[in-house]
Amino acid sequence: MTDDRDHRDHRDGADDLSGRDRAVLAFERASWSGPGAKERAIREELGISPTRYYQLLNALLDDPHALAHDPVTVNRLRRVRETQRSLR
């Protein structure tokens, strides 16, 4: 008999991401009224500085496990990152 949990883990790579990594990706899916609101929520909800948040997020964009876990968010953010790089 196949264990559903094992099948799910291999399919989406969820166990390869820490709880904090999954929280960062989930946080990034939310919409914000402005930059101040987002930075305040980062401190309050995740308990980290905005600088650390963006460092973690940037590393997640290059992590294949993050892509497997949330391809829509990761691909959207990769496009944004590439657009910003091309403007420099």
d(CA 39, CA 1): 47
Three-class DSSP labels, 8-72: HHHHHCHHHCCHHHHHHHHHHHCCCCCHHHHHHHHHHHHCCCHHHHHHHHHHHHCCHHHHHHCHH
Tens of pLDDT along 74-88? 999 999 999 998 888
pTM (2 d.p.):
0.77
Residue pointed to by tokens 């980290």: 48
Three-state secondary-structure class, residue 2: coil
Would you state the pLDDT for residue 16?
A: 87
Would you state the pLDDT for residue 2?
A: 38
Would you state the pLDDT for residue 15?
A: 65
Q: Which residue has the higher pLDDT, 40 or 14?
A: 40
Tens of pLDDT along 8-37? 344 444 568 999 999 999 999 998 887 799
Would you state the pLDDT for residue 14?
A: 52
